[in-house]
Amino acid sequence: MAKPRRISLDAMGGDQGPAVVVPGAAMALEKHPNLEFLLVGDQKRIEPHLAAHPDLAARSRIVHTETVIGMDDKPSQAVRRGRGTSMWLCLEAIRNGEAEAAVSAGNTGALMAMAKLVLRTMPGIERPAIAGQWPTVEHNSIVLDLGANIGAEARQLADYALMGAAMARALYGIERPRVGLLNIGVEEIKGIEDVREAHALLKGTELPIDYKGFVEGDQIGQGIVDVVVVEGYAGNIALKTAEGTAKQMAAYLREALTSSVAAKLGAVLASSGLRALRDRMDPRRLNGGPFLGLNGIVIKSHGGTDAYGFASAIGVGYDMAEAGLLTRLAADLAALHGTLGDGGENNQAAAKQA
Amino acid sequence: MAKPRRISLDAMGGDQGPAVVVPGAAMALEKHPNLEFLLVGDQKRIEPHLAAHPDLAARSRIVHTETVIGMDDKPSQAVRRGRGTSMWLCLEAIRNGEAEAAVSAGNTGALMAMAKLVLRTMPGIERPAIAGQWPTVEHNSIVLDLGANIGAEARQLADYALMGAAMARALYGIERPRVGLLNIGVEEIKGIEDVREAHALLKGTELPIDYKGFVEGDQIGQGIVDVVVVEGYAGNIALKTAEGTAKQMAAYLREALTSSVAAKLGAVLASSGLRALRDRMDPRRLNGGPFLGLNGIVIKSHGGTDAYGFASAIGVGYDMAEAGLLTRLAADLAALHGTLGDGGENNQAAAKQA
A341 in the Ramachandran plot: left (φ > 0), alpha (ψ -120 to 50) or beta? left
- pTM as predicted: 0.89
CB contact under 8 A, B253 and A108: no
Q: Each residue of B248-279: pLDDT tens digit?
A: 888 888 888 888 888 888 888 888 888 888 88
Q: Looking at the complex, does the CB of residue A327 fall below 8 Å from at least one CB of chain B?
A: no
A353–chain B Cβ distance below 8 A for any pair: no
Q: Is A294 exposed, middle or buried (0-12, 13-18, 19+ CB in 10 A)?
A: buried
The pLDDT score that the predictor gives to residue B188 is 46
Nearest chain A CA: its distance from B226 CA (Å): 16
Q: What is the pLDDT of residues B146-188, one digit of tens each?
A: 999 888 999 999 999 999 999 999 999 999 999 999 998 754 4
pLDDT of residue B346: 45
Count of pairs with CB atoms under 8 A, one residue in A, one in B: 241
Secondary-structure class of domain B5-120+294-323 per CATH: alpha beta
- Tens digits of residue pLDDT in B17-26: 999 999 999 9
Report how far residue A10's alpha carbon sits from residue A82's, in angstroms, rounded to the nearest whole number.
13
Annotated domain spans of chain B:
5-120+294-323, 134-284
Here the ipTM equals 0.87
pLDDT at site A282: 83
Q: Specify the pLDDT at position A351.
A: 45
Fold of B134-284: Isopropylmalate Dehydrogenase (3.40.718)
Q: Taking phi first (over 0 means left), then psi (-120 to 50 degrees means alpha), and beta for anything else, what does residue B349 get?
A: alpha
**Amino acid at residue number A252:** Y
Selecting from B245, B255, B268 the residue whose C-beta is nearest the C-beta of A245 gives B245
pLDDT band at B191 (very low <50, low <70, confident <90, very high): low
Phi, psi of B224 (to 5 degrees): -80, -15
Residue B115 sits at the chain A interface (C-beta within 8 Å): no
Q: Percentage of residues in chain B with pLDDT exceeding 90?
A: 71
Q: Which residues, numbered 270 to 289 in chain A, qualify as contacts with chain B under a Cβ-Cβ cut-off of 8 Å?
A: 270-274, 276-277, 280-281
Question: Which residues touch A230 (CB under 8 Å, ≥6 apart)?
Answer: A143, A144, A145, A181, A182, A238, B237
Q: What angle do CA B247, B253, B258 make, to 5 degrees?
A: 130
DSSP secondary structure string, B204-222? HS--SSEEEEEE-GGGGGG
Nearest-CA residue of chain A relative to B275? A256
| Residue B328: CB atoms within 10 Å | 18
Nearest Cα of chain B lies from the Cα of A237 at a distance, in angstroms, of: 5
List, for chain A, all residue ranges whose pLDDT scores fall below the cut of 50. 187-188, 343-354
Q: Which residues pair with B61 in a beta bridge?
A: B38
B220/A244 Cβ within 8 A: yes
A280-316 pLDDT, tens digit per residue, is 888 898 999 999 999 999 999 999 999 999 999 999 9
Query: From the DSSP assignment, how many helices (H) and strands (E) are in chain A?
Result: 14, 11
pLDDT of residue B200: 92
pLDDT of residue B269: 86
User: Does domain A129-284 bear CATH number 3.40.640.10?
Assistant: no
Q: Chain B contacts of A237, Cβ < 8 Å?
A: 182, 184, 216-217, 230, 234, 237-238
Residues of A in contact with B186 (CB under 8 A): 108-109, 130, 146-148, 232, 236
What is residue A189's predicted lDDT score, i.e. its pLDDT?
A: 54
CB contact under 8 A, A233 and B130: no
| Min Cα separation A306/chain B (Å) | 21
* Rounded CA separation B83/B91 (Å): 11
Question: Which of B64, B107, B71, B69 has its CA nearest to residue B88?
Answer: B69
- B255 neighbourhood in chain A, CB within 8 Å: 273, 276-277
